[in-house]
Structure 1
Amino acid sequence: MRQAPDALMLFAAGLGTRMGALSASRPKPLVEVAGRPLLDHALMQADAAGIGRIVINLHYLPEQIRAHLADRSDLLFSDETETVLETGGGLKNALPVLGPGPVFTLNTDAVWTGANPLGELRAAWDPASMDALLLLVPKDSAIGHVGAGDFDLSRHGRLTRGRAFVYTGAQILNPAGLAAIEETAFSLNVLWDRMLAEGRLFGIVHQGHWCDVGRPESIALAETLIREGGNV
């Protein structure tokens, strides 16, 4: 079983309803920011981190994503075309493709500057004490994010539910606990809450900037971040 993760789940199956007309005829991961689809921004982070196995889940307009990635024979897909499985159900469905052991997961609706998010997680991962390690940004620094924060962070890195930090969509997670969840479609919050109760949910703060590109108005914010940050 892997202890140092070398497999990544890219979440690309969402309907993208918050994008409005921009996702009416294309999946949100193909919405462009600075001339490049969001999915490509995520893949740049994965490639730079040297991830050995990359799995992308598909639901909405999956043929467009497959066509866009036709020249990437190294990528694998997890089919969710019949039903939306949410993040937890989607990850559970993809486990046969991802293989055993801890995995990275990364949302495809963000852009980053600064340190490679997957590299940061890899460097801090401690499977002896952690079942999941989430990458966070302070609520006041969460560009494009709408709503409250997600977690508070102790000085030892252990998480509790709170408002000070926002989850960026990047993590390392031990998926073993998914087997005990009977539902087919469910959020990863279900698994996180079990880890919280056992004191095994941890977080670190991203050394750089992050923009949540979940809404049309966030595209301009993300493009400004890229111009000024220069590392995405």
Structure 2
Amino acid sequence: MRDHPQAVMLFAAGFGTRMGALTADRPKPLVNVAGRALIDHALDLVADAGIPRKVANLHYRADMLERHLSGTDVLLSVEQPEILETGGGLRQAVPLLGDGPVFTLNTDAIWKGPNPLTLALQAWDPGRMDALLVCVSPDMAVGHTGTGDFVLDDTGCLSRGPGWIYGGAQIIRTEGLNEIRDSAFSLNLLWDRMLERGRLFGFRYPGQWCDVGRPEGIALAERLIGQGDV
């Protein structure tokens, strides 16, 4: 089994309810930021990082995303009849992703600075890590409210608590998914098991990040893009 990721899971199945009317007629990954769909901004990062295998999970208005991704090399993992959440969705997609650790990337964020996927691969240490999360300082998180998700120590080891924000990009081993009985579940369940073993790590992203989970995030992201290349 390989120790370094060669595939990426793009999370694109959610209902996007925080977007209100903007997702009444389309899935959130097709909401436009600076004239391009959010999922296309995510695919730019994937292409720049040179990741050869790409998989997207679909559920809400899956037909629209299928049409949008038609003609690309993105493989599709359609979740029906129920949405499987991040953990269940990743487990269903493993046959398409292949064995070994994989990248996962949320499709509702804009990054300004170095490619977070490239930085994650450079920092990945399979000997001591089961997952490596890209973490963002609150003062570099545009438009984000809240106290953060994790405490990051000097070795990069994570613990739960206010401090650093999970930016929605990571490298993660998928073997532990088979130990969870639920069909639909959050990746937080797998992270908690990794935390218990001291194998959940993170690193500090040096650039800026914008969560485009709410309508007001669109203008903030466009302003961030306008300051330079993302």
TM bracket, shorter-chain basis: over 0.9
Would the aligned equivalents of 1:139 and 1:163 in 2 still touch at CA under 8 Å?
no
Structure 2 partner of 1:213: 212
After superposition, give the CA deviation of every residue in 1:129-186 in whole Å (9 maximum; x if it has no partner).
0000000001232212232310000000000111110000000000111110000000
- The 5-angstrom pairing of residues 44-193 of structure 1 reads 44-72=44-72, 74-193=73-192
**What is the Cα deviation at residue 6 of structure 1?**
0.7
**What is the Cα deviation at residue 71 of structure 1?**
2.3
Structure 1 partner of 2:229: 231
For 2:155 and 2:179, how far apart are their aligned partners in 1? 28
RMSD between aligned residues: 0.8
**What is the Cα deviation at residue 69 of structure 1?**
1.4
Structure 2 partner of 1:3: 3
Equivalent residue of 2:14, what SS? coil
Would the aligned equivalents of 2:105 and 2:170 in 1 still touch at CA under 8 Å?
yes
Would the aligned equivalents of 1:112 and 1:231 in 2 still touch at CA under 8 Å?
no
Equivalent residue of 2:19, what SS? helix
After superposition, give the CA deviation of every residue in 1:54-84 in whole Å (9 maximum; x if it has no partner).
0000000011111111121x11011103111
What TM-score comes out, normalization by structure 2 length?
Answer: 0.98
State the one-letter code of the partner of 1:101: G
For 2:50 and 2:139, how far apart are their aligned partners in 1? 31
Would the aligned equivalents of 1:45 and 1:116 in 2 still touch at CA under 8 Å?
yes
Would the aligned equivalents of 1:7 and 1:52 in 2 still touch at CA under 8 Å?
yes
Residue 42, structure 1, aligned to residue 42, structure 2: yes
For 2:74 and 2:187, how far apart are their aligned partners in 1? 23
For 1:84 and 1:174, how far apart are their aligned partners in 2? 22
Residue 24, structure 1, aligned to residue 24, structure 2: yes
The gaps in structure 1 that reach 5 residues or longer are: none
For 1:189 and 1:152, how far apart are their aligned partners in 2? 15
Equivalent residue of 2:142, what SS? coil
For 2:116 and 2:216, how far apart are their aligned partners in 1? 24
Give the number of equivalent residue pairs: 230
State the one-letter code of the partner of 2:140: S
State the one-letter code of the partner of 1:3: D
For 2:161 and 2:137, how far apart are their aligned partners in 1? 11
The gaps in structure 2 that reach 5 residues or longer are: none
Would the aligned equivalents of 1:152 and 1:162 in 2 still touch at CA under 8 Å?
yes
Would the aligned equivalents of 2:140 and 2:207 in 1 still touch at CA under 8 Å?
no
For 2:205 and 2:16, how far apart are their aligned partners in 1? 25
State the one-letter code of the partner of 1:86: E
**Further displaced range: 146-155 or 44-53:** 146-155
Counting aligned pairs with the same residue, the percent is: 60
State the one-letter code of the partner of 2:221: A
